[in-house]
Amino acid sequence: MTTKNTATTSSVITTDKQNDKRGTLYIVATPIGNLGDITHRAIETLKKVDKICAEDTRNTRKLLTHFGIQGDLQAFHDHNETNRIEQIKGWLDSGENIALVSDAGTPLISDPGYHLVNQLGGDGTDTNVAYRIEPIPGASAIITALSIAGLPTNRFTFEGFLPAKSVGRNKVLQANALEPRTQVYYESSHRVAVTIQAMLDIYGSERKVVLARELTKLYEQVFRGNIEQLNDWINADPMHQKGEFVLMLEGHEEQSDDDIIESSSRDLLSILLDELPVKQAASLAARITGRKKNELYRLAMTIKQE
């Protein structure tokens, strides 16, 4: 089937103020490494806006210079986002168009901008409050990594960066232990090794994992194997721990309802057997779960013999 290019500069605005003279906020995706991945539309947008709000103005200046763009750069990052919102509203109210970019990839994906877009977008109770917000799509490390991972992508979860401290990191990983969907994490160079070790400790050695390092850049690498193999690989060479990482973990094998009930009953009986005789533990477990006492008694005897 032949399709026609229907690209247009117009946009659908979810506001009742059709003659609104306010400017537009553009959410502009930029390359994650290779500058050749920028879109024509992103370049044209960055050229025409009045101001560009950037996570790191030094990095963005290099990008703009490469493409010959003279932009009015404004710092917009985690530490000043809240204070900047009213200022950006003022610029938009005066008719200025604003672009929001992050250091790399699509803004708001583990990058600043959530609070800004949340406030400018309104909440549906008063459409006059909403500002025009237009996405300029492009590179995204999540999608780029998943496209080459060879893991199921019909369903996946994006967990972003894990907590820096081990207690918080382990808590998140333990909560995801039975997650059946492919899990996607971002990780930094100074924590990637400890994160993989934590996954090995919590998930065991055999879970399939894919690590994408420095995607689209000169030293791009993709490792595919199980967690134990990845742990060996990441520690085999200090260079393997350099750069930016997307870590993708195979989902846990989905359990049937019967498997879940059996596992829950086993966990409950294991706790009760620490304090009670087999007969009493089975009787109490039957009252709690609604299962037959004789079934739980047999399961309790099996646990005791293990």
Tell whether domain 24-139 is in CATH 3.30.200.20: no
**SS3 letters across the chain:** CCCCCCCCCCCCCCCCCCCCCCCEEEEECECCCCHHHCCHHHHHHHHHCCEEEECCHHHHHHHHHHCCCCCCEEECCCCCHHHHHHHHHHHHHCCCCEEEECCCECCCCCCCCHHHHHHHCCCCCCHHHCCEEEEECCCCHHHHHHHHHCCCCCCEEEEEECCCCHHHHHHHHHHCCCCCCEEEEEECCCCHHHHHHHHHHHHCCCCEEEEEECCCCCCCEEEEEEHHHHHHHHHHCHHHHCCCEEEEECCCCCCCHHHHHHHHHHHHHHHHHCCCCHHHHHHHHHHHHCCCHHHHHHHHHHHHHC
User: What per-residue confidence (pLDDT) applies to 4?
Assistant: 42
Listing from the earlier edge strand, what are the strands of the sheet with 73-75?
Answer: 73-75, 51-54, 98-101, 24-28, 132-136
Beta-ladder partners of 52: 73, 99
Instruction: Of 21, 91, 18, 22, give the one whose Cα is nearest residue 53.
Output: 91
Q: What is the pLDDT of residue 15?
A: 47
Q: What is the pLDDT along the chain (306 residues), one digit of tens a residue?
A: 444 444 444 344 444 444 468 999 999 999 999 999 999 999 999 999 999 999 999 999 999 999 999 999 999 998 998 889 999 999 999 999 999 999 999 999 999 999 999 999 976 565 556 899 999 999 999 999 999 999 999 999 999 999 999 999 999 999 999 899 999 999 999 999 999 999 999 999 999 999 999 999 999 999 999 999 999 999 999 999 999 999 999 999 866 666 667 778 888 988 999 999 999 999 999 999 889 999 899 989 988 887
Contact status, residue 26 vs residue 45, Cβ threshold 8 Å: yes
Question: 42-61 burial string, b = 16+ CB within 10 Å, else e?
Answer: bbebbeebebbbbbbbeebe
Instruction: Give the per-residue pLDDT at 125.
Output: 60
Structure confidence at residue 257 (pLDDT): 65
The pTM of this model reads: 0.76
> CA-CA distance, 184 to 209, in Å (whole number)?
10
* Neighbouring residues of 111: CB distance < 8 A, sequence distance ≥ 6: 55, 102, 103, 105
Q: How far is CA 175 from CA 199, 203, 261, 266, 289, in A?
A: 12, 11, 18, 19, 23
Report the amino acid identity of residue 42.
A
> Which class in CATH covers the domain with range 142-249?
alpha beta
Cβ–Cβ < 8 Å for 229, 45: no
CA separation for the pair 198, 13 (Å, rounded):
46
Among all chains, which residue has been given the structure tokens 């003659």? Answer: 19
Please give the pLDDT value at position 253. 82
